């Protein structure tokens, strides 16, 4: 089974902002390899401005994970243990519960969580 990824908002925002490394990495994915969360969807749409419809259509290309009570409880535990911002704790909880690799460019806080596999596909200098 190929690796499956949970895309963090930084990757998608970079792509939408024309960062070539993000676009290149995303274009190498097969359609069923990557998902987004409801948290990522909201974070990206907040930045969409006048491009809302186009950005929404782009996000519709990815299956979207929602948060239920189990993930909420897990996120609260992660937040308390690692002092992450709540959206990041939700991302970590969803990745762990679905056995996904969290793909982000901002892994500083996520790297504290030993049980979480994190991938940084590129760096911006």
Structure confidence by residue, pLDDT tens digits, 41-84? 999 999 998 999 999 999 999 999 999 999 999 999 999 999 99
d(C-alpha 64, C-alpha 78), whole Å: 21
Neighbours of 125 (CB within 10 A): 2
In a 10 Å sphere around its CB, with 0-12 CB exposed, 13-18 middle and 19+ buried, how is residue 72 labelled?
middle
Query: Which CATH number does 5-119 carry?
Result: 3.40.50.1010
pLDDT score of 108: 83
Asked if residues 13 and 44 have their Cβ atoms less than 8 Å apart, the reply is: yes
């Amino acid at each position: 089974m190929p690796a499956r990824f949970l895309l963090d908002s930084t990757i998608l925002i970079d792509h939408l902002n024309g960062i070539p490394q993000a676009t290149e990495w995303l274009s190498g994915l097969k359609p069923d390899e990557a998902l987004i969360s409801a948290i990522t969807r909201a974070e990206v749409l907040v930045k969409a401005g006048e491009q809302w419809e186009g950005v929404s259509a782009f996000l519709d290309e990815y299956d979207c994970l929602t948060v239920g009570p189990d993930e909420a409880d897990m996120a609260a535990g992660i937040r308390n243990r690692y002092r992450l911002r709540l959206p990041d704790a939700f991302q970590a909880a969803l990745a762990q519960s679905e056995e996904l690799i969290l793909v982000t460019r901002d892994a500083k806080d996520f790297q504290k969580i030993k049980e979480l596999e994190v991938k940084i596909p590129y760096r911006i200098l």
